[in-house]
Structure 1
Amino acid sequence: MAVFDTGSFVEATMEDIARAAGVTRVTVYAHFAGKTEILRALVTRVYEVADDIYADLAALPAWTRQGVRGWLEGATARWHLVAPVVRALAAAGPAATGEGARDRYRAARERHVALLTEDPRRWRGVPPAEARQRALMAVLQLESFLSVWLAGGWPVETDDPLDLLADALCHLLMPALSPGPG
């Protein structure tokens, strides 16, 4: 990630990657055929981080605004760690993610939506199709904002952008929010 974060994907060499990893180029080639395969492995890591982020939200005993806001702090810290991969993906373009990338993207979103809608008690009285749509919109809202802000370097002009993001997510998840403080 450090190599792709400090320069462009195209300009990075396997020698640069080996040096950053503290190994020889031969060692890198023993695990990866080239930069594209390394980038694909990093994409897998991004999906794993996202899976953990949404599992943490699903694991909250009750969704309240205060709970969502607190969860966002952890989610943002984790997303910040994978921001270099998101930047590298944007710079490398669609060809770098390879065949099946669209299917992997969709499968990841399906996993995240399933995590957020798996507890039917949370979504009482909400048709399953609406719960799924709301969960998907929340996932896309979060990832879009964090990608533009953390990976894209969009300057924030508010004191607490996570407060505004919590409001947006709570609006989407409103039928599943528990009454309570915050």
Structure 2
Amino acid sequence: MRVLGIDPGLRRTGFGIIDVEGMRLGYVASGTIQVPADLPLAQRLKTILDNVREIIQAHNPTVSALEKVFVNTNPTSTLLLGQARGAAMCALADHHLDVHEYTALQIKKSVVGNGHAAKEQVQAMVQRLLNLNGLPSPDSADALACAICHAHVGALAAKLHAGGALSGRGGARLRGGRLSR
């Protein structure tokens, strides 16, 4: 499985791609899509859309993971972030990729073990988990962490589904990365 993780943003959208073989994670690529702030909103969204399309074409991911957006104290910022997220999601849909969504809390808990971890902790754990020579940038680290979260949750869901726990026979289901009855 090749996972494309995306940390959406209107100024900077992080992306990270990993390969997953069983429990092994392998780094493929990561970076940040820089969106010029002086462009009109429509052109900024098109920049995100076009760049995500190029990343998909260059690396052929088989699945994608995207960070969910929650309402912040500033509704305008939340709306703009949602639009950036939508532009990325459209590129993923264009390439028929399944899109899995995770909250920042789920991502941090999956990677660091603490849902309220600082950005520096996420960067350090991503570096360790992927055996990187250097610390990834904050946006790249967040996107790679999103991909790692899916690798962990996706593997768990597949095992539970194969064992009948998610097929209705076991009475359990996976919601938001958590097993519930």
Normalized against structure 1, the TM-score is what?
0.26
Counting helix residues as a fraction of each chain, which structure ranks higher?
Answer: 1
Counting strand residues as a fraction of each chain, which structure ranks higher?
Answer: 2
Normalized against structure 2, the TM-score is what?
0.26
Q: Which has the larger radius of gyration?
A: 1
Q: Which has the higher contact order (CA 8 A, sep 6+)?
A: 1
